Amino acid sequence: MVASPCDAQSESPSPEPSTTPFEETIVPTFETQKLARTYVLDIPAPRGQITDRNGLPLAQNRLSYNLAINYPTPLDFSDAQLLSFAREEIQATEKLLGRPLKISDELIKRHYRNRGILPFAIAQNLTTKEYDEVKGHLPAGITLRPFYVRTYPNGKIAGQIIGYSGKTGRNPDGIIDNHEVLWPETEGREGLEQTFNQVLTGKHGEYKITFDQDGRKTSEKIVTPPVPGHTVVTTLDLHLQELAEKALEARAKRGAIVVVDPNTGDILAMASWPTYDPNAFTPTISTEKFKALQDDPDIPLLPRAFRSSYPPGSTFKVAVGIAALESGAVRADEEFDCVPSIQIGNLTFHNWKKTDRGPLNFVQALTESCDTWFYQVGIKTGAEPILDWAQKLGFGAKSGIPLRGEVEGRVPNDQYMKATHGRKLLNGDIANLSIGQGDTQVTPLQMAQAMAIIGNGGTFYQTRLVQQVQTVDNEIVTAFQVREKKTLGASADTMAQLRTGMINVVNGSGGTAHQASLENVEVAGKTGTAQWGPKTKERTAAWFAGFVPSDHPQYAFAALYEGDVGTKAHGGTAAAPMIAMILKDVYKQNANGNKRRRTPEPGETPIPRAERVEEDESD
């Protein structure tokens, strides 16, 4: 159970109450505001908190203040007297704040006629500096009115997951109704704020104001205090989330990183870049600022980690390898030539290396990411086993996280191909599928999820983003338990072959991800580089995905680097270094660059003609 950090939500902002002996003897009527009556108004409850897995706040509340005119009762000003009184108060407030306040005569009169018994806000959402300067020097007739404002203490960190909230309406200016709220409430508009809006909202309190038969205020007090909303405890690790966003900011113009606990399915970090600061939306965001976010060509409002899908490139070879070995189409020790190119139908399919690499087995082919090896093996295996095992790894289906707009990606089958291209999957399509190109699309979240399954040996845990919902007193309302969704069902021999190949990718002499290797912790992974988009605006999606430590994984990860039009980017040089930045901090050691090389295990065939993979090559 996570203890909720203290914040402003334990307080209940309201005007200072006062009581008189007349309060309970008054008979309320509703003929006019000048006659005796009692109003009962609702006090909005503070929104519940959103925290990381350790109770660190991701979303909470702070008290903000408005400056308002308190009109004397009874309300018997003429229009001329009202405007004279209000303008005098406004001028005094302008002098105190050192800035002009634009308030029309019509607004002043409308408030006084309809709701003059309530303070009239003339300066809203004071800055901390303004509040400190005015709180002890208020002009007569001016009051400070507190209210809650949503705040995100970590700024941009996890902003696209938390989302933001906005006002449910404008400040009311009509005749007062009993049980209307004292100030506009807020509701979740995006992210977890939106999904869990109902439990975050809390329960209204009640505030009573009474007037005598002459229209004079006789008392005001809180009858029922508001009950704060529940706390939503996420699976996120704030430190890991921050590391992921820093890595993206340092090394990518656009991209995403997801880190999952392979032993529970918990999302520890889910970062997209660029992102936005949800504080920009509180208490409101201007039309100009919102349009600037919408029109930004890098789309900071788009959570790429789960709402965008990309061709996976060679990272998809892990699924192809499992399918080939498990279907019996290929033996682990069976070799195929890694040639520069092969002919399939009327088309020539190339390897990313221009030299003949000779005969390779599965581990060697995965290590070097030999495209022509996988073309041959993919066609021999056939589309059905590849699609089946890809789906078992979670590709082509939503993970089920509680966020709006998650996309399911695409694993193209015959039905899709007929609907889109008017034909079934042909050998050329299977060749493209075998290296994660063509119509295949996956999200960074799906890729991290698949690596978690491989890393833990084959258990597919239900991906979790929220651990539980609890009261402010830490009583659990709803718990989302760790749950085994299904078992992959691949043999131990196949999983061992895959693990060995992924270790070699990072640490072997012919591997493509040396920039992710560390000194004393063995990283297992797979790089990928894929082209996507129309030919005239083709971009590169550069991937690095895997798990660490290789023998008993604590973290499964996926990093996606989204390249610019016309520029080259490769998984080993664009995505792998971002993961290295994170792991270097996690394990408090220096990444070893390309110096570390893994020696073959006893009985393991070394990579032929082993050589360092040049950084400017693709895979």
Same domain for 389 and 513, yes or no, is: yes
Residue 415 above 70 pLDDT? yes
Rounded CA-CA distance 548/88 in Å is: 68
Domain final position from 189, 208, 234: 234
For the chain, how many structural domains are there in total? 2
Residue of 155, 153, 143 whose CA lies nearest to 9: 153
Same domain for 381 and 455, yes or no, is: yes
Give the model's pLDDT for residue 605.
Answer: 40
What CATH number is associated with residue 52?
3.90.1310.10
Residue 36 above 80 pLDDT? no
Please check whether residue 606 lies inside any domain of the structure.
no
Same domain for 304 and 225, yes or no, is: no
Give the model's pLDDT for residue 619.
Answer: 60
Amino acid 257 reads: I
479-509: pLDDT as tens digits: 999 999 999 999 999 999 999 999 999 999 8
Lowest mean pLDDT across 238-247, 490-499, 561-570: 561-570
Please check whether residue 264 lies inside any domain of the structure.
no
Same domain for 316 and 220, yes or no, is: no
Same domain for 205 and 310, yes or no, is: no
Task: Please give the full DSSP string across 80-122, using - where no structure is assigned.
Answer: HHHHHHHHHHHHHHHHHHTS-----HHHHHHHHHHHTTS-EEE
Same domain for 228 and 307, yes or no, is: no
pLDDT category of residue 185 using cuts at 50, 70 and 90: confident
Q: Which residues contact 419 (CB under 8 A, 6 or more apart)?
A: none
pLDDT category of residue 10 using cuts at 50, 70 and 90: very low
Same domain for 91 and 226, yes or no, is: yes
Same domain for 221 and 305, yes or no, is: no
Give the model's pLDDT for residue 35.
Answer: 53
Residue 440 above 90 pLDDT? yes
- Measured at the alpha carbon of residue 161, what is the angle toward residues 157 and 165, in degrees to the nearest 5? 95
304-324: pLDDT as tens digits: 999 999 999 999 999 999 999
Same domain for 434 and 522, yes or no, is: yes
Residue of 202, 228, 236, 199 whose CA lies nearest to 473: 228
Same domain for 142 and 57, yes or no, is: yes
Output the six-digit token pair for 242. 């921050």
Please check whether residue 376 lies inside any domain of the structure.
yes
Domain final position from 234, 257, 284: 234
pLDDT category of residue 170 using cuts at 50, 70 and 90: confident
Same domain for 207 and 352, yes or no, is: no
Strand 231-234 and strand 50-51: the pairing is: parallel
Domain final position from 207, 234, 261: 234
Same domain for 59 and 164, yes or no, is: yes
Please check whether residue 12 lies inside any domain of the structure.
no
Strand 120-123 and strand 57-69: the pairing is: antiparallel
132-155: pLDDT as tens digits: 989 888 989 999 999 889 999 999
Length of the chain: 619
Please check whether residue 536 lies inside any domain of the structure.
yes
pLDDT category of residue 340 using cuts at 50, 70 and 90: very high
Rounded CA-CA distance 549/555 in Å is: 8
pTM: 0.88
Residue 55 above 90 pLDDT? yes
Please check whether residue 24 lies inside any domain of the structure.
no
Give the model's pLDDT for residue 28.
Answer: 39
Q: Which residues contact 196 (CB under 8 A, 6 or more apart)?
A: 50, 188, 232, 402, 466, 469
Q: Which residues pair with 561 in a beta bridge?
A: 255, 542
Residue 532 above 50 pLDDT? yes
What CATH number is associated with residue 503?
3.40.710.10
Give the model's pLDDT for residue 13.
Answer: 56
User: 267 to each of 99, 361, 444, 449, 556, how far by Cα in Å?
Assistant: 47, 34, 12, 9, 10
Give the model's pLDDT for residue 19.
Answer: 37
Please check whether residue 354 lies inside any domain of the structure.
yes
Residue 604 above 80 pLDDT? no
Task: Please give the full DSSP string across 113-180, using - where no structure is assigned.
Answer: HHHTTS-EEEE-S--HHHHHHHTT-PPTTEEEEEEEEEE-TTTTTTHHHH--EEESSPPP-S---TT-
Rounded CA-CA distance 378/327 in Å is: 11
Residue found by looking up tokens 């408090």 in the block = 588
Q: What percent of the chain has pLDDT over 70?
A: 89
Sign of dihedral through CA atoms 395, 396, 401, 405? Answer: positive
- Helices (H), strands (E): how many in the chain? 18, 23
Give the model's pLDDT for residue 606.
Answer: 41
If residue 337 lies in a helix (H) or strand (E), which one and from where to where? strand 336-338
In this structure, are residues 441 and 309 in contact, taking their beta carbons and an 8 Å threshold?
yes
Give the model's pLDDT for residue 385.
Answer: 98
Please check whether residue 247 lies inside any domain of the structure.
no
Q: Where does 156-244 show beta strands of DSSP type E? A: 165-167, 186-188, 205-211, 217-224, 231-234
What residues make up the domain containing 444? 300-460+480-586
Quickly count: other Cβ atoms within 10 Å of residue 491's Cβ: 13
